[in-house]
């Protein structure tokens, strides 16, 4: 059995659980039992809907050193614990040493403890930044982006005029970017239809729903189940950073992207520097952010050749098979 430690709630969104679900499904395909270990029940719906059991510790998700993890490990005896949280501490991994093999999903460069393995699928992942780790303990780079099966090996995109546009600002959208984009990006672009994707945990969902209902050019998607199909349908996207960027790559959907948090800034910069997407930068504390983003959007929408070049490079970097590769590496580490 493999345990996955991840949470989803209104504060941190759904990204940690969603990417771990992709890994869990790939492990299940290979015959491995997987359960999710959570601090509370707020993410249960996402997890159980995909057919996985949860083990709730009734703890605070920000206080991981206080969690009763060890009793769960002793009871279930998993072969490996995969942890995906920004609230891990040196004490968390130290307490687990000798009890279970630990692998950490790292978006930056781990400096708070010593997990036995590191999974960092970010485009900027660099093995030189993990001192003391052997090569077989590192699972690095966008070829390991943990996407769902629907994103695997999609055909090349055929580029044409921009008629369908995807907008997504993450599961919880703490900066309320969705509302701002509905008000500023949608008007004045009559030839385009906008698909706004929001999570069910978004605290502003009812206000977004009311606003979208008054805009004929907008379709609201709450907890959209066929993101691969929607991304393939859309000609251009506006997206917050996160795992969504790798999904867009697999679909070859050109995008204007932005950061909602400090940990998203390296990815936004790297995607732009490698000429895979257009960066609108950090959305926080910028009064003219949405106006600037709209200008970048219009430039990219008007440049069909640039969008075609982006699509080709994106699909070359991410083929959607990352979760399968992760599962193979995790299972190999148990042998």
CATH code of 173's domain: 3.40.50.2000
For residues 226 and 328, membership in a common domain is answered with no
DSSP 75-124: HH--SEEEEE-TT--HHHHHHHTTTSEEEEE-SS---S---SEEEE--TT
Mean pLDDT of the chain: 94
Mean pLDDT score, 191-197: 96
Mean pLDDT score, 320-330: 97
For residues 54 and 94, membership in a common domain is answered with yes
For residues 123 and 171, membership in a common domain is answered with no
Span between the terminal Cα atoms of the chain, in Å: 13
For residues 33 and 135, membership in a common domain is answered with yes
For residues 40 and 128, membership in a common domain is answered with yes
**Tens digits of residue pLDDT in 285-318:** 888 999 999 999 999 999 999 999 999 999 999 9
pLDDT band at 110 (very low <50, low <70, confident <90, very high): low
For residues 124 and 212, membership in a common domain is answered with no
pLDDT of residue 145 exceeding 70: yes
pLDDT of residue 10 exceeding 90: no
pLDDT band at 118 (very low <50, low <70, confident <90, very high): very high
pLDDT of residue 53 exceeding 80: yes
Q: In what order do the strands lie in the sheet with 138-140?
A: 53-56, 34-38, 2-6, 80-84, 101-105, 117-120, 138-140
For residues 290 and 329, membership in a common domain is answered with no
Cα–Cα distance for residue pair 183/179, rounded to 1 Å:
6
Res 111: pLDDT: 66
For residues 133 and 55, membership in a common domain is answered with yes
Cα 270 from chain centroid (whole Å) = 16
Domain count within the chain? 2
**What is the percent of the chain where pLDDT is above 70?**
98
**Tens digits of residue pLDDT in 158-168:** 999 999 999 99
Res 199: pLDDT: 80
3-state secondary structure of 190: coil
For residues 28 and 130, membership in a common domain is answered with yes
Mean pLDDT score, 20-33: 97
Q: Which residues of 49-60 are buried (b: 16+ CB within 10 A; e: fewer)?
A: eeebebeebebe
For residues 212 and 76, membership in a common domain is answered with no
Res 220: pLDDT: 96
For residues 112 and 165, membership in a common domain is answered with no
CATH code of 96's domain: 3.40.50.11190
Residues 6+ away with beta carbon under 8 Å from 333: 80, 101, 103, 117, 136
**Tens digits of residue pLDDT in 121-142:** 999 999 999 988 999 999 999 9
Domain that holds residue 264: 154-317
For residues 288 and 222, membership in a common domain is answered with yes
Mean pLDDT score, 106-135: 88
């Amino acid at each position: 059995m493999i345990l996955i430690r991840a949470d989803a709630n209104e504060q941190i969104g759904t990204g940690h659980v969603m990417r771990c679900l992709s890994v869990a499904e790939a492990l299940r395909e290979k015959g491995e039992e997987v359960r999710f270990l959570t601090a509370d029940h707020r993410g249960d719906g996402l997890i159980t809907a995909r057919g996985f059991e949860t083990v709730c510790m009734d703890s605070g998700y920000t206080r991981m050193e206080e969690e009763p993890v060890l009793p769960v490990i002793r009871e279930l005896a998993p072969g490996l614990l995969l942890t995906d949280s920004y609230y891990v501490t040196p004490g968390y991994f130290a307490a687990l040493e000798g009890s279970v093999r630990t692998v950490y999903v790292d978006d930056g460069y781990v400096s708070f403890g010593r997990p036995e393995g590191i999974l960092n699928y970010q485009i900027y992942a660099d093995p030189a930044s993990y001192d003391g780790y052997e090569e077989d303990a590192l699972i690095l780079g966008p070829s390991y982006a943990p996407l769902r099966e629907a994103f695997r090996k999609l055909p090349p995109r055929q580029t044409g005029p921009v008629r369908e546009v995807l907008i997504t600002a993450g599961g919880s959208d703490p900066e309320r970017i969705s509302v701002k984009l509905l008000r500023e990006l949608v008007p004045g672009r009559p030839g385009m239809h906008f698909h706004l994707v929001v999570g069910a945990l978004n605290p502003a969902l009812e206000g977004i729903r009311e606003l979208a209902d008054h805009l004929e050019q907008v379709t609201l998607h709450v907890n959209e189940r066929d993101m691969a199909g929607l991304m393939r349908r859309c000609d251009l996207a506006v997206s917050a950073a996160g795992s969504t960027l790798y999904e867009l790559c697999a679909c070859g959907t050109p995008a204007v992207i932005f950061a909602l948090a400090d940990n998203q800034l390296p990815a936004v910069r790297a995607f732009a520097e490698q000429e895979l997407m257009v960066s609108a930068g950090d959305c926080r504390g910028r009064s003219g952010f949405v106006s600037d983003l709209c200008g970048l959007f219009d430039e990219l929408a008007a440049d069909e050749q640039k969008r075609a070049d982006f699509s080709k490079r994106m699909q070359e970097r991410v083929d959607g098979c990352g979760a399968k590769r992760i599962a193979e590496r995790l299972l190999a580490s148990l042998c």
